[in-house]
Structure 1
Amino acid sequence: MTASETASATERPDFSGLRAMYINCTLKRSPEPSHTQGVIDRSVAIMEANGVAVDQIRAVDHDIATGVRPDMSEHGWETDAWPGLLERVLAADILVIGGSIWLGDNSSVTRRVIERLYGYSGVLNEQGQYAYYGRVGGCLLTGNEDGLKHCSMSILYSLQHIGFTVPPQADAGWLGEVGPGPSYLDEGSGGPENDFANRNIAFMTYNLLHTASMIRSAGGFPAYGNQRTAWDDGSHPDNANPEYR
């Protein structure tokens, strides 16, 4: 490793100006304690120590309608809090979805949030790309049963599919003893002191920050070859029409 490489690995990067949004998909309404929030808090502390502005939502506290449209109040629902929450998501460079594991899978609240995110995925940004391009996604999970990797795969696949950039090792979490054992914040659980979980949370958080910083420095996610507007206008880079072969 050269001297410049060593310096780049030890000097703290400048992440100021970045914004992060955490959506806690616990089943528990505020102010009930949330074990998922305990894991989120550790990641948030790293973000804030690096000058990142952090916004947080506990999804179950809001009247989020079911559906896959940007505003379900226009599609039969009397009320829908999601449009206002989506504005806060779009204001962030980084989105972290936190949730609990039930029956080895993501919670119903997590699935609803992902469905509502999906409902905006067809909207285009100013460059003619899909709206979530240029944003970075990750996830945090808690539980005392198996399923962490399965839940992470589902969330991260969904985020990248709708346009988020997913960095290396963009997930972390804590699983207690499999079965009805202590949860993350329970006394004696060992969760907050667990070195493996803390390392993964730290790595995930910094990987999100590095990726968001690189995209910001590039002026957004590069637009060549992925603009829906250009494709619809007939510009198909490197895609020859088979009729002329």
Structure 2
Amino acid sequence: MDRPDYSDLRALFVNCTLKPAPARSHTQALMDVAIAVMRSAGVTVEVARAVDLDLPPGVYPDMREHGAATDGWPAFFEQVLAADILVLGTPIWLGQKSSVATRVIERLYGNSGQLNEQGQWIYYGRAGGCIVTGNEDGAKHCAMETLYSLQHLGYAVPPQADSCWLGEAGPGPSYSDEGSGGPQNEFTQRNTVFMAWNLMHLAALLKRAGGMPAYGNQREQWDAGCDFGHPNPEYR
């Protein structure tokens, strides 16, 4: 089987660690595996650490219009739009994704009412996934929350779109600590590679097909009265 060339794709990895750069991030260490796989396929990859981006809380495109003194989101949103693939990475705290991950999703939500060139929601035609690390249970819960949010906003989620590593319950070594076993864990490494390729495969299918087919999901057409096959169009 020929190795695919995905040099026409762009990916954005957003690390939602609580640690500002240049502090070591275990989440970044696992994300780096997927990043290396994508770069080996020719994908242009950008990496951001959300805690360093000056993102005030809110669900509007520019929180300066709603009382914030500064807002780094509008500029960062241009990177989001340029990416065919978005991967959110988060540590686990008290069984939940990080507060930073929640904030990034909220800011993504703030732009979700915008439309693309086909009249669909703005994130249509892009693929989304997530990576989770921690030394306590909750990885699947965090992945469910994150992937649900991404698909609800319009991202397409392929099979096996998440990867995780968990250490022993309670205090103990984290993913990239010496002796943790994380970088040698076959389950985690396999799932990370599969996730990376599945995201690339789906993103390429979407990009090369011109995005998601537009019929049946255009807001303006719906508002204009098109029923798109609704069994009872007279309900309106």
TM-score in terms of structure 2 length: 0.98
Q: Distance in 1 between matches of 2:91 and 2:231?
A: 47
For each residue in 1:100-157, what CA deviation from the matched residue of structure 2 results, as whole angstroms up to 9, or x when unmatched?
0000001100000000001111000111100000010000010000000000000000
* Counterpart among 121, 135, 143 of residue 134 in structure 2: 143
Q: Distance in 2 between matches of 1:114 and 1:216?
A: 23
Q: Distance in 2 between matches of 1:115 and 1:63?
A: 14
For each residue in 1:71-123, what CA deviation from the matched residue of structure 2 results, as whole angstroms up to 9, or x when unmatched?
00011111000111111011000000001000000110000000000111100
Alignment RMSD, CA only? 1.0
For each residue in 1:172-200, what CA deviation from the matched residue of structure 2 results, as whole angstroms up to 9, or x when unmatched?
01101111110001110011111110000
Q: Distance in 2 between matches of 1:217 and 1:242?
A: 34
Q: Distance in 2 between matches of 1:209 and 1:159?
A: 16
Instruction: State how 1:123-134 maps to structure 2 within 5 Å.
Output: 123-134=114-125
Q: Distance in 2 between matches of 1:201 and 1:58?
A: 19
Residue aligning to 2:155:
164
Instruction: State how 1:26-45 maps to structure 2 within 5 Å.
Output: 26-45=17-36
Relative to structure 1, the CA distance from residue 242 to residue 17 in structure 2 (aligned partners, 3 Å threshold; closer, same or farther) is: closer
* Higher alpha-carbon Rg: 1
Residue aligning to 2:63:
72
**Percent identity of paired positions between Structure 1 and Structure 2:** 63
SS in structure 1 of the partner of residue 46 of structure 2: strand
Q: CA deviation at 1:241?
A: 4.0
Greater alpha carbon shift after TM alignment, 142-151 vs 178-187: 178-187
Q: Which amino acid aligns with 2:149?
A: S
SS in structure 2 of the partner of residue 54 of structure 1: strand
Q: How many residue pairs get matched?
A: 235
Any conservation in 1 of the 2:61–2:74 contact (CA below 8 Å)?
Answer: yes
Any conservation in 1 of the 2:227–2:233 contact (CA below 8 Å)?
Answer: no
Instruction: State how 1:1-245 maps to structure 2 within 5 Å.
Output: 10-241=1-232, 243=234
Gaps of 5+ in 2: none
Gaps of 5+ in 1: 1-9
Q: CA deviation at 1:216?
A: 1.3
